Amino acid sequence: MEDKYDVIVIGTGCGGAAAGALAAYHGHKTLILEKNSIIGGRTATYEKQGFKMDHGHVMLRCDRGPHGKLLRMVDCPDLIPKYSYALDWGVQVSIADKKMVIPPHKRRAFLLLVMLKEIFNFRFKPDDWVSFAKFNAKTLNMSGREIEELYHIDAKTFLNRYFTNKYFHLIFGGTTTVCLGALMEEVSAGVVASISKAGLKGLGYPVNGEGVSAIPHSFLKAAKKFNAHLKLNTAVDEILVENNEVRGVMINGRFIESSIVISSVGIGETVLNLVGEDKFEAEYVERIKNLKYSYEGFSLKYALDKPVTKYPWGGEIPDNLEKITSDMSRGILPERLPWMYVAASSLDPAIAPKGKQAIFVISGGTPEVPGQVDWGKWMDKVKSQVAEFFPGINRHIIFCDETTPNHIASFSGRICGDAVGVAQTIDQVGELRPSPVSPIKGLFYSGADVGKDHVGTELATDGAISLEPYLQI
Ligand SMILES: Cc1cc2nc3c(=O)[nH]c(=O)nc-3n(C[C@H](O)[C@H](O)[C@H](O)COP(=O)(O)OP(=O)(O)OC[C@H]3O[C@@H](n4cnc5c(N)ncnc54)[C@H](O)[C@@H]3O)c2cc1C
């Protein structure tokens, strides 16, 4: 590590790794710093007893959406990881206590027919199908401008325009709550519409043996190709600011000079901890302190001595979701929790030793600050639901690792263990989203807190992409 760089990037989650690739591509002498021994932040993958486990389990788009866009922007489309597409997967779900499986195949028309047949169990009326068709026709053809017009309308109001059937609300509400980590009545209809527009197209899981960390790995490979330096096990203690300009960072008492610092550790952590609130106007600090974050998420990683399902994807959306999400939002452990799984080793055999299976389960918690919730109880609840869903699974567990919001906070360096980032609620999207450009000259933010479009990892990479104009020399 040298004493002076053009750009220092803090963090190697999707947001940091993507910003590092962009900075290096534009010819800046770039240093990327990561406090952990492995890269990836909330998209990290670690190895244990021959299994490769994702910290959070993640389904994402790879060649489509921001991840593919970023690699194309830096002229590295060859680095886009190999991918297994969700549309090709068999699915096993329980929706409002109704269990169903949708077999794997590649023909979408067939998929739709099977789904319709299965969903008919809900006794949808012809009017419901008309509403469904209208909703799809509308969202699939929405222009960017129409999506923006929906930004400040909540998703529940938007869905009420189309659906009266509670199961449509359950399916959309359940997936939205799990994906965006916020209640339907808070979350932006524009975000829901853009997710619906993207649909399942391109969604999937990387299959190059790196788990979901394949995405930040691919960005860092691009960064290294353009001579960026990466330092692991190196936590930034302070971002030095003088006269409203960035000077560099402090690491273990050592000063590294740089006139541009891009922090992906979180906007709150950057302003309040790494820079210090005294360096900002009081009004700005107040705004940062009042940002709302997505629900905290947690994950269970099952290492199994034999496969318990042939369906790579699925989960449970319990009945009475409105009561459940209302309990969750108040920190009350609900009767049942919505959860989702990916049997990653069924998609990429490199994820588990031969003949064994790795299943990653995620569920949502509350927007509470770590330390105030007994996560053990929430995990036990999901474990018992998983055991009902996959009868006999408990006899096949080699180990089951738990990632609680407290773990997420400690390995990602965030104040709270929020799953996604600054929540995409009606008052925090579009022009009301925090800007990636800070009021301090040379200080930028990247990552999911400042991304404008998409969700989760894609939001994080979108945050980096928005920095492009500031990185062109
Ligand atoms: C359980 C769970 C399931 C999820 N499922 C999905 C999903 O299915 N699909 C999806 O798209 N998204 C999903 N997400 C959300 C997604 O993982 C996050 O939104 C995204 O990864 C955030 O990326 P980021 O770059 O903004 O932040 P992070 O990944 O948190 O990166 C921040 C980085 O900064 C580093 N850092 C922090 N402090 C310092 C310091 N002082 N010095 C140096 N380095 C530091 C951290 O170690 C970390 O590497 C899930 C998240 C969780 C927790």
In this structure, what are the phi and psi dihedrals at residue 281, rounded to the nearest 5 degrees?
-65, 145
Q: List the one residue out of 378, 183, 417, 460 whose CA is nearest residue 296.
A: 417
Q: Which of 1, 38, 42 to mutate to test the pocket of ligand 1 (most atoms within 8 A of CB)?
A: 42
Asked whether the beta carbons of 10 and 443 are under 8 A apart, the reply is no
Identify the bridge partners of residue 251 per DSSP, sorted by sequence position: 254
Q: Write out pLDDT tens, residues 11-70.
A: 999 999 999 999 999 999 999 999 999 999 999 999 999 999 998 877 888 888 999 999
SS3 label, residue 199: coil
Number of Cβ atoms within 10 Å of the Cβ of 122: 16
Q: Mean pLDDT, to the nearest integer, of 77-92? A: 91
Pocket (CB within 6 angstroms of ligand 1): 10-16, 33-36, 41-43, 56-60, 235-236, 264-265, 297-299, 362, 408, 412-413, 419-421, 447-448, 455-458, 460
Q: For residues 422 and 181, what is the distance between their CA atoms, to the nearest angstrom?
A: 10
Q: For residues 177 and 454, what is the distance between their CA atoms, to the nearest angstrom?
A: 15
Read off the tokens for 305.
């001595």
Q: What is the pLDDT of residue 129?
A: 81
199 — pLDDT class (breaks 50, 70, 90): confident
Asked whether the beta carbons of 34 and 220 are under 8 A apart, the reply is no
Identify the bridge partners of residue 33 per DSSP, sorted by sequence position: 10, 231
Q: For residues 255 and 4, what is the distance between their CA atoms, to the nearest angstrom?
A: 9
CB neighbours of 34 closer than 8 A, spacing ≥ 6? 11, 12, 16, 230, 231, 232, 233, 234
Asked whether the beta carbons of 245 and 252 are under 8 A apart, the reply is no
CA 342 from centre of chain: 14
**Beta-strand (E) ranges in 318-435?**
339-342, 357-364, 397-403
Number of Cβ atoms within 10 Å of the Cβ of 112: 10
Read off the tokens for 384.
């018992």
Name the strands in the sheet holding 60-61, side by side, starting at the edge strand that comes first in the sequence: 60-61, 203-206, 83-85
Q: What is the pLDDT of residue 165?
A: 80
Q: For residues 14 and 463, what is the distance between their CA atoms, to the nearest angstrom?
A: 9
Interval between CA 41 and ligand 1 midpoint (Å): 4
369 — pLDDT class (breaks 50, 70, 90): low
Read off the tokens for 76.
């590295």
Asked whether the beta carbons of 270 and 446 are under 8 A apart, the reply is no
Q: Mean pLDDT, to the nearest integer, of 291-309? A: 93
CB neighbours of 167 closer than 8 A, spacing ≥ 6? 95, 96, 119, 122, 124
Interval between CA 122 and ligand 1 midpoint (Å): 37
Domains assigned to the chain: 7-82+210-291+422-471 (3.50.50.60)
Pairing mode of beta strands 91-95, 238-242 = unpaired
Specify which of 231-240, 407-416, 446-455 reaches the highest per-range mean pLDDT: 231-240
Interval between CA 362 and ligand 1 midpoint (Å): 14
Q: What is the pLDDT of residue 107?
A: 56
Interval between CA 421 and ligand 1 midpoint (Å): 8
381, exposed or middle or buried, with CB in 10 Å at 0-12, 13-18, 19+? middle
**Between residues 71 and 364, which one has the greater pLDDT?**
71
What predicted TM-score, i.e. pTM, was given to this entire model? 0.94
For the chain, give the longest Cα–Cα distance: 69
Interval between CA 217 and ligand 1 midpoint (Å): 14
Q: What is the pLDDT of residue 202?
A: 84
Interval between CA 422 and ligand 1 midpoint (Å): 12
Q: What is the pLDDT of residue 461?
A: 97
Q: What is the pLDDT of residue 261?
A: 98
User: Torsion over CA of 242, 284, 253 and 471, rounded to 10 degrees?
Assistant: -70
Q: Which of 32, 54, 58 to mutate to test the pocket of ligand 1 (most atoms within 8 A of CB)?
A: 58
Q: Which of 32, 232, 265, 467 to mutate to test the pocket of ligand 1 (most atoms within 8 A of CB)?
A: 265
169 — pLDDT class (breaks 50, 70, 90): confident
Q: List the one residue out of 381, 370, 43 whose CA is nearest residue 206.
A: 43
Q: For residues 78 and 456, what is the distance between their CA atoms, to the nearest angstrom?
A: 24
* Ligand 1 atom nearest to CA at 274: 41
